[in-house]
Amino acid sequence: MPSAWLLQVKLTAQTAAGFVSDFYTLPVGIRTVAVTESQFLINGKPFYFHGVNKHEDADIRGKGFDWPLLVKDFNLLRWLGANAFRTSHYPYAEEVMQLCDRYGIVVIDESPGVGIVLAQSYSNVSLQHHLEVMEEMVRRDKNHPAVVMWSVANEPASFLKPAGYYFKTLIAHTKALDPSRPVTFVTNSNYEADLGVPYVDVICVNSYYSWYHDYGHMEVIQLQLATQFESWYKTYRKPIIQSEYGAETITGFHEDPPLMFSEEYQKGLLEQYHVVLDQKRKEYVVGELVWNFADFMTDQSPQRAIGNRKGIFTRQRQPKSAAFLLRERYWKLANETKYHRSAVKSQCVGNSPFTF
């Protein structure tokens, strides 16, 4: 950010022992965020999100807060050249937001609105609770300059009839709470059937071509992804973020030709996405967030080999082959857009923060 200020609130009380003071310091960054038909603007300049989705999860403390792990993760984000992440699928600890401010990592701040997939999920009781959740989240995080957009939900059944009114009301409420930031939700619905997207400022789309369908056929990705982008943009004329994409990989699995779950397959799948992303980012695509930063634990099931393995790092934060691919890509993007100008492409150590 160009400038930063420190707001200090000091409270003093008189006791029998004399005056006692306490104070709270709030770092404040002044910046603007705006959206056009085809661009996301920070301080009036086009911004391209190149980063990750995360989870608050690791192998030692699970979802428990862990300062050393947090420092490790931010060093890995710097090593990667990432400039953004989404708090999938819930607000993260306040300490995470503070580090994002310090390092200049842009955040799409997401509510715990996940699993809205049944008709009864759109009841008035659910909507009222969701409105209250957004009030709490905006109140807590609105002073963090790193937060540039609110996400009210992840992968809802936004094709259901009640979804239109639900998201119209929810997004209008969030905009009233904070008129300075755009609002979105993350969709995986069909562009023709989605009843919530007309109310968002930026379209965030999740898709897993050649993973959850067309198994093993990476040759279809470019056509399917290009068609996805063109369909959404032609219909709504709004900037688009590829908010999730990826493939599961077991570290040390190698196959030639690439087979699903091998490191070569994950790397090859990402490369196919990147071909189309490089074409469309010159038009109206404003970001790409890989799923996921690191492997994470899930409920046990026959479909999960000890958790979700779509991370580019293991649950212990060791890199897979895809991490090196993304590192080359993200630093290239950073150099093209002149972001991360205070950092250097070096080992993931040091104290100099990124700036945006």
pLDDT digits (tens, 9 = 90+) for 224-276: 999 999 999 999 999 999 999 999 999 999 999 999 999 999 999 999 999 99
Could you tell me the two tokens for 194? 């989605």
Q: Chain-centre distance of CA 196, in angstroms?
A: 19
What's the pLDDT tens digit per position in 67-108? 999 999 999 999 999 999 999 999 999 999 999 999 999 999
Q: How confident is the model at residue 18 (pLDDT cuts 50, 70, 90)?
A: confident
What's the pLDDT tens digit per position in 100-129? 999 999 999 999 999 999 999 999 999 999
Q: How confident is the model at residue 4 (pLDDT cuts 50, 70, 90)?
A: low
Under the phi-then-psi rule, with left for phi > 0, alpha for psi from -120 to 50, and beta for the rest, what region is 115? left
d(CA 277, CA 275): 6
CATH superfamily of 31-338: Glycosidases (3.20.20.80)
Nearest to 32 by CA among 143, 184, 148, 151: 148
pLDDT at 330 exceeding the cut of 90: yes
Could you tell me the two tokens for 172? 């209008």
**Residue 289: Cβ-neighbour burial (10 angstroms; 0-12, 13-18, 19+):** buried
pLDDT at 348 exceeding the cut of 50: no
Q: How confident is the model at residue 30 (pLDDT cuts 50, 70, 90)?
A: confident
Question: Which candidate in 56, 95, 132, 155 is catalytic?
Answer: 155
Q: What percent of the chain has pLDDT over 90?
A: 84
Catalytic, 264? Answer no
What integer is the mean pLDDT of 179-203?
99
Could you tell me the two tokens for 152? 């009210």
Average pLDDT of every residue of the chain: 93
